[in-house]
């Protein structure tokens, strides 16, 4: 039988043949090919042949990267895939995102202990710490009660990030939100309120009982090597002018205890070369070969949507991910990296959806996928477990019997029963519910392609809500095959811990053998294919 690594060139050609043909012609050529049964049969046979060669990487992971698309439900992924393809001049539906190339896939059940439709705090505790929890709380089990400080103590649960650090690995957090936001906070903090960003946000009774704000825990609970995102104002004494917005009173430092937590972090490891930056210029000047620890806080609160990001002042999620990997990967024992893009109001994917503005959310999703792709370029699948998932979904959908290649932000092909047009993208609830004189507004009176256009919603709410359906888990690398079927969300943390032989797991996967890289061809081929696609169409 032919050795797998000798089959690789032939298999690569099988993958690249139809792709290159597709890219070589226009949309009309592609449409003509798709009418031929041979096109679809060949494509399916090639995919089947690749699947038959897929073998699990059943050895230990040196590194772990967890990508979290906050609010990135399956419908968001599908719409983002189409958007990216259309940005590149194609019809869109056939596009492959970087995460689409991952060989292993599962569904995650996102409910929390007390909520059928969960929030970002309880879900973060699940995928970071391995247990389901209550809404509004981070890093605590379900015995903790939201906002009741005295239920904190004794109910702490500990993240994979913390366990990785305890075993000598480097650890990092990258987010487009404030670094004290619920999603990253569960990796390092224990709080009965996700909103206790600084001590100024806490009731005096909680401070008296011994509870600690999330920003303080960021720099005191765990020595986090790389911290990149927003959240400057929660780190400095009350009244401290912001370096980027010195005249803004609303962006000044927020801390009542008069502590400068940036200085606390910088001084925590005197023997290491640590650096704090707040501007793109300083960020670009960081020498990853000499810097051991990096904190970059680029906005007083959350970072801006990608559409509105000032590229001369703030780095993108792609650039922050790259810098983090370059610094963390210097540790011979490996690293754990958490990367989050949130898709809502000033919090990316999640916040764009909460505002009912799909363009903001989907543009963030495309950029998030670019970060996934960049991480794939900088890492080896043989030693790095990469997981991409979401904490929850949104009540976002697109439909309307639209034709192939219909602009993702465009109109459905038919009018509704009220004789009015509607966009393919709609929300089940949210601020987009607008009725004029008892009837739905005529959307053609405005520009529904505008980047801040608010899609219509069926039920009026100030803010669109999360969705309760399962979300996807994409995985590749060592032990990625353990992600399959439908799983509870807290299972994610357990797979990551087991793959890297972290607490509580002792009976661990073996270290990789020298020949391990020659026995797994599919994922490497998919990554090669993905890289080629990016080079050809980006």
Residues 6 or more apart whose CB falls under 8 angstroms from that of 24 comprise none
CA angle 262, 264, 268 (to 5 degrees): 120
Nearest to 459 by CA among 436, 426, 430, 438: 430
- 502: preceding bond cis by omega (within 30 degrees): no
Tell me if residue 437 falls in helix, strand or coil.
coil
Give, in order, the Cα–Cα distances in Å from 504 to each of 138, 158, 321, 333, 507.
Answer: 20, 11, 28, 18, 9
Cβ(206)–Cβ(212) under 8 Å? no
Beta strands (DSSP E) in 20-152 are 63-70, 104-109
Cα–Cα separations (whole angstroms), residue 488 to 68, 73, 303, 468, 491:
16, 16, 31, 13, 6
Contact 362, 76 (CB under 8 A): yes
Catalytic residue list: 120
Distance CA 184, CA 129 (A): 12
- Segment holding 274, helix H or strand E: strand 274-277
How wide is the angle at C-alpha 172 spanned by C-alphas 497 and 109, nearest 5°? Answer: 45
User: What end-to-end distance do the CA atoms of the chain give, in Å?
Assistant: 39
DSSP single-letter state for residue 138: B
Concatenated DSSP letters of 210-270: T---HHHHHHHTS--SEEEEE-GGGGSBTTPPPSS-TT-GGGS--BTT---HHHHHHHS-T
Which residues 6+ apart lie within 8 Å of 95 measured at CB?
81, 82, 84, 85, 88
CB count in 10 Å sphere of residue 450: 11
Alpha helices in 147-203 (DSSP H): 160-166, 182-185
Q: How far apart are CA 281 and CA 312, in angstroms?
A: 8
């Amino acid at each position: 039988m032919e050795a797998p690594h000798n089959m690789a060139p032939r298999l690569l050609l099988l993958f690249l043949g139809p792709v290159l043909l597709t890219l070589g012609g226009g949309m009309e050529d592609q449409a003509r090919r798709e009418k031929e049964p041979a096109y679809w049969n060949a494509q399916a046979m090639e995919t089947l042949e690749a699947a038959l060669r897929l073998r699990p990487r059943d050895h230990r992971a040196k590194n772990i990267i967890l990508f979290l698309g906050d609010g990135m439900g399956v419908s968001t992924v599908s719409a983002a895939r189409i958007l990216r393809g259309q940005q590149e001049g194609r019809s869109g539906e056939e596009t492959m995102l970087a995460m689409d190339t991952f060989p292993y896939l599962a569904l995650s059940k996102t409910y929390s202990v007390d909520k059928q439709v969960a929030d970002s705090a309880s879900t973060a505790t699940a995928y970071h710490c391995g247990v389901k929890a209550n809404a509004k709380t981070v890093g605590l089990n379900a015995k903790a009660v939201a906002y009741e400080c005295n239920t904190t103590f004794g109910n702490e649960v500990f993240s994979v990030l913390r366990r990785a650090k305890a075993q000598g690995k480097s650890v990092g957090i990258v987010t487009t939100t404030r670094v004290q936001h619920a999603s990253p906070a569960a990796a390092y903090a224990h709080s009965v309120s996700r909103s206790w960003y600084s001590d100024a946000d806490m009731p005096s009774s909680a401070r008296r009982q011994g509870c600690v704000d999330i920003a303080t825990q960021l720099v005191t609970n765990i020595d986090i090597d790389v911290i990149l995102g927003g959240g400057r104002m929660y780190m400095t004494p009350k009244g401290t002018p912001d370096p980027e917005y010195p005249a803004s009173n609303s962006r000044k430092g927020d801390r009542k205890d008069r502590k400068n937590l940036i200085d606390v972090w910088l001084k925590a490891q005197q023997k290491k070369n640590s650096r704090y930056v707040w501007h793109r210029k300083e960020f670009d000047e960081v020498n990853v070969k000499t810097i051991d620890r990096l904190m970059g806080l680029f906005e007083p609160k959350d970072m801006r949507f990608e559409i509105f990001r000032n590229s001369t002042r703030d780095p993108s999620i792609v650039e922050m991910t790259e810098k983090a990997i370059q610094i963390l990967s210097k540790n011979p024992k490996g690293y754990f990296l958490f990367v989050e893009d949130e898709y809502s109001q000033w919090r990316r994917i999640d916040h764009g959806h909460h505002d009912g503005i799909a363009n903001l959310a989907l543009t963030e999703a495309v950029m998030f996928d670019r970060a996934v792709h960049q991480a794939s370029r900088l890492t080896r699948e043989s030693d790095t477990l990469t997981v991409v998932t979401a904490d929850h979904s949104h009540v976002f959908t697109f439909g309307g019997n639209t034709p192939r290649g219909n602009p993702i932000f465009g109109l459905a092909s038919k009018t509704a029963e009220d004789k009015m047009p509607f966009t393919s993208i709609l929300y089940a609830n949210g601020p987009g519910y607008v009725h004029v004189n008892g009837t739905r507004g005529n959307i053609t009176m405005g520009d529904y392609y505008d980047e801040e256009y608010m899609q219509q919603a069926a039920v009026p709410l100030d803010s669109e809500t999360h969705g309760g359906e399962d979300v996807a888990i994409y995985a590749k690398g060592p032990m990625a095959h353990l992600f399959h079927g439908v799983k509870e969300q807290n299972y994610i943390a357990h797979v990551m811990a087991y793959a890297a032989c972290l607490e509580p797991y002792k009976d661990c996967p073996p270290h990789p053998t020298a020949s391990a890289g020659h026995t797994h061809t599919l994922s490497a081929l998919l990554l090669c294919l993905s890289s080629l696609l990016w080079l050809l169409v980006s």
